[in-house]
Amino acid sequence: MAYRSSTSSLLSLLGLLSIILTSAAAIRLQITQRPTGVAPSFREAPAFRNGAKCSSHANDTIHIVMPLDTNYIRGTMAAVLSILQHSTCPENVSFHFLSVHHLDSEIFPLIKSTFPFLRFKMYGFDPNRVRGKISKSIRQALDQPLNYARIYMADILPADVKRVIYLDSDIIVVDDVAKLWGVVLKGRVLAAPEYCHANFTSYFTEAFWSDGELAAAFEGRRPCYFNTGVMVVDVERWRRGGYTRRVEEWMAVQKQKRIYQLGSLPPILLVFAGNIKGVDHRWNQHGLGGDNLEGRCRGLHPGPISLLHWSGKGKPWLRLDSRRPCTVDYLWAPYDLHRSSRVALEE
Ligand SMILES: *[C@@H]1O[C@H](CO)[C@@H](O)[C@H](O)[C@H]1NC(C)=O
Ligand SMILES: *[C@@H]1O[C@H](CO)[C@@H](O)[C@H](O)[C@H]1NC(C)=O
Ligand SMILES: *[C@@H]1O[C@H](CO)[C@@H](O)[C@H](O)[C@H]1NC(C)=O
């Protein structure tokens, strides 16, 4: 069920949560700190069962691709839980995790023990594949090789996976993900919410716009900003069109001449902006992490919400742990499976 971000219902929800969390913070003090560097442990999620009308055709599986990193695993776990919880057919959602740690003997059992009933596979993403191609951006976290894995997913996933929803790990879904899955691509490679009022110029440098040859990349299309943390991708069409190489070509240009400031987003915009299928904005309420440099708190945009996205510098689990949460972080907290939060919430 989706919810509207009407001020009154949000405030009452926040009121309730802040009561829970205030007592949580008080109790957490008594919990012995786990030594750092050890994988965090998570409580087991319940089994989510299919509704009566779910399809049994293997080709109707919903494929979700997410990056999986030890630093963001708490976000990934919350994201998976939120997706299952709001799905009419949770048993038909299949997860594909891209990870540089896929051979790590701890991470697979960790997912298995948290979600014993989950349909998932892990795939290795070799960071060396992009290491020499990454240019330094304005925020170090954006330069992690795994951020670039989405550009390579079409090659990594098995050939029988033809369409995927790519999701970042700092999201929660509060609606049936099947609705997003059903978007009609109309021959496009990619679907995502588009923001045609955002200042597109600002995503590229003066050096880019003043070079006629480079700026000509957008000739014949009206480019609009979209966020690459939530995308429906026809991976078959992506493979056929050689889009990985096209994005890589722009990364190579960036190596020669600084044409943008952010990480993996701008080269994807260069290839696709103005050429995607738009999706309702409710599917990516992004920027909740605040801006890229300071991570200041941000409120919700008005309108219905199906997916919340903590893009930007601040992450809800870090802000909640440091007891300096933003108001929107209380919307993430109910999906947190981290043990420390459970012990706290139960007492
Ligand atoms: C959906 O899940 C049910 C129960 O596990 C299974 O029998 C069926 O084959 C699945 N269908 C799809 C489309 O994945
Ligand atoms: C899925 O498979 C069924 C049975 O094999 C077929 O009738 C249906 O058209 C397929 N659907 C899609 C979307 O390919
Ligand atoms: C858009 O951004 C560019 C570059 O940052 C700036 O020069 C321009 O004034 C902005 N345009 C608007 C309409 O805000």
Dihedral sign of CA atoms 77, 81, 87, 91 in order: positive
57 Cβ inside 6 Å of ligand 1? yes
The rounded mean pLDDT for the chain is 86
User: 85: how many CB neighbours lie within 10 A of its CB?
Assistant: 16
Ligand nearest to the CA of 52: 1
At residue 303, what are phi and psi to the nearest 5 degrees?
110, 165
Q: What angle do CA 82, 83, 84 make, to 5 degrees?
A: 95
The predicted structure's pLDDT at residue 71: 87
Ligand 3 center to 305 CA (angstroms): 29
Amino acid sitting at position 336: D
* Of 248, 257, 246, 194, residue with least CA distance to 225: 194
Q: What angle do CA 147, 149, 152 make, to 5 degrees?
A: 150
Ligand 3 center to 195 CA (angstroms): 15
Ligand 1 center to 53 CA (angstroms): 11
Nearest CA to ligand 1 atom 7: 56
Ligand nearest to the CA of 60: 1
The predicted structure's pLDDT at residue 341: 66
Ligand 3 center to 209 CA (angstroms): 12
Share of the chain above pLDDT 70, in %: 86
The predicted structure's pLDDT at residue 2: 47
288 pLDDT above the threshold of 50:
yes
Average pLDDT over residues 74-86: 97
To test the pocket of ligand 1, the residue of 91, 119, 163 to mutate (highest count of ligand atoms within 8 Å of its CB) is: 91
Q: What is the DSSP letter of 259?
A: -
Average pLDDT over residues 254-280: 92
Q: Which atom from ligand 2 is nearest to the alpha carbon of 59?
A: 1
Each residue's pLDDT tens digit, 32-75: 344 444 555 899 999 999 999 898 887 789 999 999 998 899 99
Each residue's pLDDT tens digit, 236-253: 999 999 999 999 999 988
**β-strand pairing of 171-173 with 93-99:** unpaired
Ligand 2 center to 188 CA (angstroms): 21
Question: With bands split at pLDDT 50, 70 and 90, how would you rate the model's confidence at 212?
Answer: very high
Question: Which pair of tokens denotes residue 191?
Answer: 């679907």
C-alpha to C-alpha distance for 106 and 23, rounded to whole angstroms? 32
Each residue's pLDDT tens digit, 114-151: 999 999 999 999 988 888 777 777 667 777 888 899 99
The predicted structure's pLDDT at residue 129: 85
C-alpha to C-alpha distance for 72 and 69, rounded to whole angstroms? 5
The predicted structure's pLDDT at residue 6: 46
C-alpha to C-alpha distance for 198 and 215, rounded to whole angstroms? 18
154 alpha carbon, distance to own chain's centre: 17
59 Cβ inside 6 Å of ligand 2? yes
User: 110: how many CB neighbours lie within 10 A of its CB?
Assistant: 19
- For residue 99, the cross-strand partners are 124
Give the list of residues 6+ apart from residue 174 with CB closer than 8 angstroms, or none.
1, 2, 3, 82, 86, 305, 306, 307, 308
30 pLDDT above the threshold of 80:
no
Ligand 3 surroundings by CB, under 6 angstroms: 199, 201-202
Nearest CA to ligand 2 atom 12: 59
Question: Which pair of tokens denotes residue 188?
Answer: 């496009």
Ligand nearest to the CA of 57: 1
225 pLDDT above the threshold of 60:
yes
To test the pocket of ligand 2, the residue of 56, 60, 163, 184 to mutate (highest count of ligand atoms within 8 Å of its CB) is: 60
Dihedral sign of CA atoms 16, 17, 20, 22 in order: negative
**β-strand pairing of 62-67 with 304-305:** unpaired
Share of the chain above pLDDT 90, in %: 65
C-alpha to C-alpha distance for 306 and 327, rounded to whole angstroms? 18
Ligand 1 center to 51 CA (angstroms): 11
C-alpha to C-alpha distance for 110 and 338, rounded to whole angstroms? 12
